[in-house]
Amino acid sequence: MPRPTVARIDLEALRHNYSTACQRAGNARVMAVVKADGYGHGIARVASALADLAPKYAVACLEEAVAIREAGLAQPVVLLQG
């Protein structure tokens, strides 16, 4: 019998890591890739945690873009799906 998988995320660590990546990117423009339901942590929760840091989000499908809008976030959303 398989054991249930539990994924936990420290949102402050996520914010720190995103900020560090942005600093190391130099003059490059960055966006937060929050596809796959925020990589299993909840797209609204993850995107909201980055709302004051991320100038835009990238998602894999239209439903994820809708979830970001339903969370009240107004940043541009890039759809990675063709």
Cβ(59)–Cβ(65) below 8 Å: yes
Q: What is the DSSP string of the chain?
A: -PPPP-----HHHHHHHHHHHHHHTTT----EE-HHHHHHT-HHHHHHHTTTT-S-EEESSHHHHHHHHHTT--S-EEE---
> Which pTM value belongs to this model?
0.88
Q: What mean pLDDT comes out for the span 7-12? A: 92
Cβ(47)–Cβ(38) below 8 Å: yes
Greater model confidence, 39 or 76: 76
Q: What mean pLDDT comes out for the span 7-26? A: 95
Q: Percent of the chain scored above 90 by pLDDT? A: 82
Domain residue ranges of the chain, discontinuous segments joined by +: 33-82
